[in-house]
Amino acid sequence: MTDLLDELHAQVGLTLLDANPNIPYVFDTVVPNPTPSPALGWVLVYTSVSWPRDGIGTSLTEQQVTITTTINCHCVGTTATAARVVGGQVRDSLLNVRPVIAGRNCSPIKQADSVPPSRDESLGYPVMDAIAVYQFSSIG
C-alpha cells in the first residue's frame, strides 16, 4: 500500500498549470490523439519525484525525509514566439509559488533550467517546443 506522497508532489505542477486560464491545454506525459491545434499552444508536463540522499534531507535516524520534485514543461506553439509566450504563462503559474502538502514543509518553486525553442516534427507537422524545468523540495 502506498501513502500517495509521491503523487501529491507530482500533482502540484499539474494543478497550478491547469488553474491558469491562459494555458489552453496541459497534458500529463502524453499528448492526446487527435492533437489539439498548436495555434492555441499547450504544455506537456513530465514530473519526477525523488528522495535524494544528502546531509540536509537525512534525519537523525538516517531516514530520508527530503523530497525533490522536478517539473519538466514542454511549452509548445506554432512559432518560437508562441512557445515563449506559453513558457511565460508556465512561469507565471509556477515560479515562487510555495506548494501546500499536508505534513510537509515545501520550498518555493524555482526555475532550474531552460532550453530555447526548437523545431519538433514528431506529431507529423512542425511545432516549436521550448523546455522549462522547475523544482521544489519538501521536508517532512
CATH number of the domain encompassing residue 122 = 3.30.2000.30
In the chain, the number of structural domains is 1
Between CA 97 and CA 60 the distance in angstroms is 29
Neighbours of 93 (CB within 10 A): 22
- Which candidate, 78, 83, 79, 54, places its Cα nearest to that of 67? 54
* pLDDT one-digit tens code per residue, 75-126: 999 999 999 999 999 999 999 999 999 999 999 999 999 999 999 988 888 8
Question: How many residues are present in the chain?
Answer: 140
Confidence class for position 28, pLDDT limits 50, 70, 90? very high
| Contact of 38 with 127, CB cutoff 8 Å | yes
What integer pLDDT is reported at residue 79 of this predicted model? 95
> Which residues span the domain enclosing 49?
5-139
Amino acid at 21: P
Nearest by Cα to 77 from 133, 117, 114: 117
Q: Encode pLDDT of 29-85 as tens digits.
A: 999 988 888 888 999 999 999 988 765 555 566 667 889 999 999 999 999 999 999
Res 1: pLDDT: 35
Predicted structure pTM score: 0.91
Give the separation between CA 139 and CA 93, rounded to whole angstroms: 22
The mean pLDDT value for 8-17 works out to: 98
Q: Which pLDDT value is given to residue 60?
A: 61
C-alpha span between 63 and 61 (Å, rounded) = 5
Rounded average pLDDT over 16-31: 96
**How far is 75 from 8, CA to CA, in rounded Å?**
23
